[in-house]
Chain A
Amino acid sequence: MEYIIIIIGAVFVNNIVLAQFLGICPYLGVSAKVSTSVGMSGAVMFVMTLATLVTFLIFNYILIPLNIEYLQTISYILVVASLVQMVEIILKKVSPALYQALGIFLPLIVTNCAILGVTILAVREDFGFNLLESVVFAIGNALGFALTIVLFAGIREHLDLVDVPKGMRGAPAALVVAGILALAFMGFANLV
């Protein structure tokens, strides 16, 4: 039950994109088509879950015992960057089909602040997550990312057909649409 609450909280109530403003760059950058947004969501889910698992262990079993929590930012970004690199190499070898699907999105993920943000949030003291809970938290956030980016891409495909005022074309119109989506997601507030 607790895990379900974590997932619902992460997907709907504190949605990573629309409520916490993480991962806006890929959200606007790769949401022009539904198919690319699905690929991006897959890559994010994969890396986010793995990165949270690894950084949780590093934080609790290396940084805290050695009393060097202030190195959190540096060590996390290195973990995320090398993890992405490693995943890329392994995928290329083991599953060329999956690599084809996720390939171009993987390097982009290093600078996706959603990944670093979730790994930092997952070890926050006020949440007090254990290992399994933080992994579930990561999966929930990845699902939330997937839901919003696919929804958004669906809307943007239709937006191309609409007569938008000249100055608002492109990014401004997309941002206003994102705002309206965020407004809709506010309806989930206080759900859990």
Chain B
Amino acid sequence: MGQLQNFTKGFVKENPVFVLLLGLCPALGVTTSAFNGLGMGLATTFVLVSSNIVVSLIKDLIPAKVRIPSFIVVIASFVTITQLVMEAYMPALFDSLGLFIPLIVVNCLVMGRAEAFASKNDTWSAIVDGLGMGLGFAFALTLLGGLREILGAGEFFGMTIFPGDGMLVFVLAPGAFIGLGYLVALNNIVKKKLEKTA
């Protein structure tokens, strides 16, 4: 597989949220606005790329039996770094993402890529894979956040699109599930179209 394919697979074909259904908790929990979705997506991308780099570098050093706990410690360290940096420089975003920042540790996406990809490939491919998957995740979160923000509040990245009150339910919990449901369905259709033309 070429590096370009390795990078782009995360957007539609193997999109972590829409196709693999990984990392759904933050995908539903923080996407009340496009900005929050993007912030969470980028934070996860940082952790994913960093942990992919470290895991691919140390893959020959750790015995197979203790690899999962070792990966968890690597991931948790990067999550703690993200947490401290965000608290210091982006306190507003830190507050709105709240509990979901420490929970990047248990995002199956990060662990899944470390186990399934970084532990078997060279560092360069691992970086590309982490970037592609992470940005695919950020793309999905921004899309869902944007959808909920437009329908729920009539705004997009804080800019007013429709004046007046939106459908409040889309900003609240049920809107997250329903919005994601329709986006997954949409992605299924797009994927089928792409497969037909290819």
Contacts and interface: CB of A to CB of B under 8 A. Distances in A.
B177 A175 contact: yes
A81 interface: yes
Contact of B24 (A28, A77, A117, A182): A28
A180 B177 CA distance: 8
A182 B102 contact: no
Interface string A90-107: 000000000000000000
B54 interface: no
B154 to A, nearest CB: 20
A113 B25 contact: yes
Contacts of B175: 179
A73 interface: yes
B58 interface: no
Main secondary structure of the interface of A (DSSP, over half): helix
Given A77-B105, A179-B177, A24 B72 contact: no
Contacts of A168: 181, 185
A182 B176 CA distance: 10
B73 A74 contact: yes
Interface stretch (A15-23, A36-44, A131-139): A15-23
Contacts of A175: 177-178, 180-181, 184
B75 to A, nearest CB: 8
A111 B188 contact: no
* Highest count of chain B CB atoms <10 Å: which of A21, A116, A180: A21
Interface in B12-26: 21-22, 24-26
A21 B73 contact: no
* Highest count of chain B CB atoms <10 Å: which of A71, A117, A173: A117
B29 to A, nearest CB: 4
Interface of B: 21-22, 24-26, 28-29, 68-69, 72-73, 76-77, 79-80, 83-84, 99, 102-103, 105-108, 111, 169, 172-178, 180-182, 184-186, 188-189
18 contacts: A21-B24, A21-B29, A22-B29, A70-B80, A70-B83, A76-B102, A78-B69, A78-B72, A81-B68, A111-B106, A111-B108, A120-B99, A167-B186, A167-B188, A168-B181, A168-B185, A171-B21, A171-B184
Interface of A: 18-25, 28, 70-74, 76-78, 81, 110-113, 116-117, 120-121, 167-168, 171-176, 178-180, 182-183, 185-186
Given A173-B181, A183-B174, 17 more contacts: A20-B29, A25-B25, A25-B108, A28-B24, A70-B83, A72-B102, A81-B68, A113-B103, A116-B105, A176-B177, A176-B181, A176-B182, A178-B181, A179-B175, A179-B178, A182-B173, A182-B176
